[in-house]
Amino acid sequence: MTEKLSSRDRDLALARLDRWSYDAERDAIEREFKFADFAAAFAFMTRVALIAEKADHHPEWCNIYNKVHIRLTSHEAGGLTEKDVALAHGITDISG
């Protein structure tokens, strides 16, 4: 089982993640991405889905037209883990 990050490890991880913020209530990280239109947002979600499936770790997300909101937390661990941080890096890398 994956373990929750300590507050120190969480803070260090957030310092290395561009534009991700911490949701203390959910012990999660989140970010909103904005695209030119719905097709671009959906294409991005498809790329994220492939990364998430390969990692066997899936985001909570919402798409409204050209915006995609992503929240990452590990339910089985009860909060933020290294798996969430790794997926956030992968998502950031493909966001352009």
- The verdict on whether 89 is a catalytic residue reads no
DSSP per position, 15-79: HTSTT-EEETTTTEEEEEEE-SSHHHHHHHHHHHHHHHHHHT---EEEEETTEEEEEE-BTTTTB
11 given a catalytic annotation: no
Structure tokens at 1: 């089982």
Known catalytic membership, residue 53? yes
Point out the catalytic residue in the list 57, 69, 82, 89: 57
Pick the catalytic residue: 3, 53, 60, 93?
A: 53
Is 57 annotated in the active site?
yes
List 18, 25, 56, 76, catalytic entry:
76
Active site residue 84: yes
> Which are the catalytic amino acids?
53, 57-58, 75-76, 84
